[in-house]
Structure 1
Amino acid sequence: MQHPVTAPPVPERVRTLAALAAPTHVSVAGSGIPASAARGGVDATGRPVLLVGPAEVLHGLPPETLVTVDLTAVRAYGGVERPRGLLKVRGWTQPVPAAEARATAVAIAERCPDEDLFAVVEGGGPELVRVDVCQVVYLTGGESGVLDAEDYLAATPDPLLGAAERMVRHVNEAHRDRLAGTVARLTGEPVGDAWLWELDRYGATVRMGEDGLVRVPWPALAATPAALERALACLLCPS
């Protein structure tokens, strides 16, 4: 029997993190302008989209300015937001065309709500500037590396992402005792604190305490939300 794939391919995992991430900082390459706070989100193709007002660092700079945007994906547990991954997206700025501004703002608001996005929808407020990706540096857990634009943009987020995130929230709110019991059986050691950290069609990652991570692959790929829910149920309630 072929051993199951234990984790998503790197481009898919990075795109999944990007879909959940928010911009935190932007810096302009080759300039003396210090890095500054950034707002916005990530569009459906994986490109950062920034809200740029009169006081923002990108205001007034010409299109095709080379920038680096920091994206951070977090997981909230124990009342604290913990970083899941940091992505540094390097690329060239482009104004979002007026015909696309409304749809782009609405899509970003679903993940990264901001009052200024509603101003964009109404035809005013800050401009939207997106970044044409050149490369992506990723740092997540103990892994790091670089993806070129072709590999990053050709990948897509986990197709079960929405369902997976809902299941993660439910488990962490209601079933952490079962999760701790499962990890204790798998590791043979007592577990005092366990949280569901990542969930995807290939398996689940459980976080123990501050630094411990245990990856549990599914016996077979979970191709649908129902299959993912069954796999998770079997993890929490083994026969």
Structure 2
Amino acid sequence: MRHPVTAPPVPERVRTLAALSAPTHVSVAGSDVPTAAARGGVDGRGRPVLLVRPGEVLYGAPAETLVTVDLSATREVGGVERPRALLKVRGWTRPVPAAQARAAAVAIAEACPDGDLFAAVEGGAPALVRVDVCHVIYLTGGDSGVLDAETYLASAPDPLLPPAERMVRHVNGSHAQQLREAAERLTGEATPGEVWLWELDRYGATLRPGPGHLIRVPWAAPATTPEELEHALACLLSP
């Protein structure tokens, strides 16, 4: 009997989390410069793009400065941002060329909107600095490890990521009772607190019935379209 794949391959999952992440801190390797707060986002290839203002450590820094950028992925549930993953991207800085600035800004604006992006695109004071990946350390739930640049950059986020995130927001906002009932059917136990849809991808769904407790539910076969994903989710929530 063939068993279903229970979760995305690690590189795909890390790229998915990166696509939903925001930079929080940046540090310069081999330097006594303190770790600094970071702003920006992640481009379509999974590379951090930092929005750097005058006076900040990377403003005007030489190209190929070796840095580590912390990326944080969170999930808002019940009005509170909960951590999903921390990614530490080590790589070399490179100014985003003027011809690529608009595309870079658009790539990060949806997930990480920032008014200074417009000033950077127009050649204003903030600068856009890309980090070319050397390796990525990931810490998510009970999983951790390292991806080299070749593996990380050769992968891609879940192809159903945008509709999956819309479904997560809808279900968490409108179907609390069905989520609780689904968790109770899966565990055979009463669930006293709130249950949230924590992750949704082409391979399955993850419910969060409480802090530190996750329930992974694989689909019988990977979803290949948003309609298939929506159907699989509806079956999970149906009594």
CA deviations on 1:193-220 (whole Å, 9 max, x unpaired) are: 2000000000000001211100000011
- Give the secondary structure class of the aligned counterpart of 2:110: helix
Tell me by how many angstroms 1:134 deviates. 0.2
- Give the secondary structure class of the aligned counterpart of 1:18: helix
Name structure 2 gaps, 5 residues minimum. Answer: none
**Preserved CA contact (<8 Å) 2:54 2:125:** no
**Preserved CA contact (<8 Å) 2:98 2:121:** no
Once residues 114 and 54 of structure 2 are traced to their aligned partners in structure 1, the CA distance between those partners, rounded to angstroms, is 16
Hey, what does 1:181 align to over in structure 2?
181
Residue 36, structure 1, aligned to residue 36, structure 2:
yes
Tell me by how many angstroms 1:61 deviates. 1.4
Tell me by how many angstroms 1:122 deviates. 2.9
**Preserved CA contact (<8 Å) 1:106 1:121:** no
**Preserved CA contact (<8 Å) 1:87 1:139:** yes
- Give the secondary structure class of the aligned counterpart of 2:67: strand
Tell me by how many angstroms 1:237 deviates. 0.6
Residue 53, structure 1, aligned to residue 48, structure 2:
no
- Give the secondary structure class of the aligned counterpart of 2:147: strand
Tell me by how many angstroms 1:60 deviates. 2.3
Hey, what does 2:208 align to over in structure 1?
207
- Give the secondary structure class of the aligned counterpart of 1:63: coil
Once residues 85 and 51 of structure 1 are traced to their aligned partners in structure 2, the CA distance between those partners, rounded to angstroms, is 22
Q: Which amino acid aligns with 1:215?
A: R
CA deviations on 1:94-134 (whole Å, 9 max, x unpaired) are: 01011000111122111100010011233323110000100
CA deviations on 1:29-59 (whole Å, 9 max, x unpaired) are: 0000010000000000000000111121111
Please give the residue correspondences for 1:134-145 in structure 2 after superposition, counting only pairs within 5 Å: 134-145=134-145
Q: Which amino acid aligns with 1:16?
A: T
Q: Which amino acid aligns with 1:154?
A: A
Once residues 109 and 125 of structure 2 are traced to their aligned partners in structure 1, the CA distance between those partners, rounded to angstroms, is 15
Hey, what does 1:75 align to over in structure 2?
75
Once residues 94 and 83 of structure 1 are traced to their aligned partners in structure 2, the CA distance between those partners, rounded to angstroms, is 29
Q: Which amino acid aligns with 1:202?
A: Y
Once residues 122 and 62 of structure 2 are traced to their aligned partners in structure 1, the CA distance between those partners, rounded to angstroms, is 25
Percent identity reads: 74
Once residues 67 and 215 of structure 2 are traced to their aligned partners in structure 1, the CA distance between those partners, rounded to angstroms, is 36
Once residues 27 and 58 of structure 1 are traced to their aligned partners in structure 2, the CA distance between those partners, rounded to angstroms, is 9
Once residues 46 and 202 of structure 1 are traced to their aligned partners in structure 2, the CA distance between those partners, rounded to angstroms, is 21
Aligned residue-pair number = 238
Hey, what does 1:126 align to over in structure 2?
126
Once residues 57 and 82 of structure 2 are traced to their aligned partners in structure 1, the CA distance between those partners, rounded to angstroms, is 27
Hey, what does 1:3 align to over in structure 2?
3
Once residues 53 and 123 of structure 1 are traced to their aligned partners in structure 2, the CA distance between those partners, rounded to angstroms, is 12
Q: Which amino acid aligns with 1:3?
A: H
Hey, what does 1:94 align to over in structure 2?
94
**Farther off after superposition, 25-34 or 118-127:** 118-127
Once residues 180 and 3 of structure 1 are traced to their aligned partners in structure 2, the CA distance between those partners, rounded to angstroms, is 26
Once residues 91 and 123 of structure 2 are traced to their aligned partners in structure 1, the CA distance between those partners, rounded to angstroms, is 27
Hey, what does 1:156 align to over in structure 2?
156
> So what's the TM-score if we normalise by structure 1?
0.98
CA deviations on 1:143-200 (whole Å, 9 max, x unpaired) are: 0000000000000000000000000000000001101101101110011220000000
Hey, what does 2:222 align to over in structure 1?
221
